[in-house]
Amino acid sequence: AMLGNPRTHVRNVVGNAFFAPVVAAKDLTAAVIESAADRVSGGGLGRSKALLGPGSRELLAAAWGDYANVEDQVLGSGKYSDSANANRSIQEGRAIFRNKALETARRANSRALDLEDSWFSKPHYAYALAQYAKANHITAKQLKSGKGLDRARAYAIREAQKATYRDTNAFSQMVSDLGRYRGNNPAKKGASMVLEGI
């Protein structure tokens, strides 16, 4: 009921839109700092960001096109799921409601939330990948080929997930694990019950 509430969708879209300029400012600041640190260190810094100007359109277009190869990974972390480490295909395949109408509505709502996030995760991914590529001398042609991009893609996926609140960090994993705790420790069991109630 909470996730199906129209206010949840409005908050999701508005929250993602509101955070976009903050991410852009963070990326600009980090690119300037990394560039300066790289000069001071004589080029020994492992960079992840570079300033993108009008000459970077081809790089951005190639990074935008690469999103199709990683969309499942970008949307894979559990922003709306109670088990962040669960296999996504298992999560999507399981039925929560026995009533077919409720289950259909639940699945449609989940797809809508993912779609809303994808509106924002795609540009975040493309920009992060293009910045990484420029900072590490990866060309648009190399991006289009898709070869040897594991580190670049992993970085851009992580950035897109952080920008759309889909990343799993140590704290969120601890809360998720605690919420599923079924052991005999009374303190952990109590905390688990409280988290399930929330």
pLDDT tens track for 13-25: 888 888 888 888 9
| 63 vs 177, residue with greater confidence | 63
Q: Does 101 score more than 60 pLDDT?
A: yes
Q: Which of 140, 14, 1, 118 is nearest to 66 (CA)?
A: 140
Are 185 and 105 in contact by the 8 Å Cβ rule? The answer is: no
* Total number of residues shown for the chain: 198
Half-sphere exposure of 18 (CA within 13 A, CB side): 7
Q: What is the mean pLDDT of residues 117-123?
A: 84
- How many other C-beta atoms can be found within 10 angstroms of the C-beta atom of residue 88? 14
| 39 vs 89, residue with greater confidence | 39
**What does the pLDDT read at residue 189?**
56
Are 112 and 9 in contact by the 8 Å Cβ rule? The answer is: yes
Q: pLDDT per residue over 39-76, tens digit each?
A: 888 776 778 888 888 888 999 999 999 999 998 888 87
Burial class, 36, CB count within 10 angstroms (exposed 0-12 / middle 13-18 / buried 19+): exposed
**What does the pLDDT read at residue 1?**
60
The SS3 assignment for 17 reads helix
The SS3 assignment for 67 reads helix
**What does the pLDDT read at residue 170?**
54
Average pLDDT score over the chain: 77
| 121 vs 81, residue with greater confidence | 121
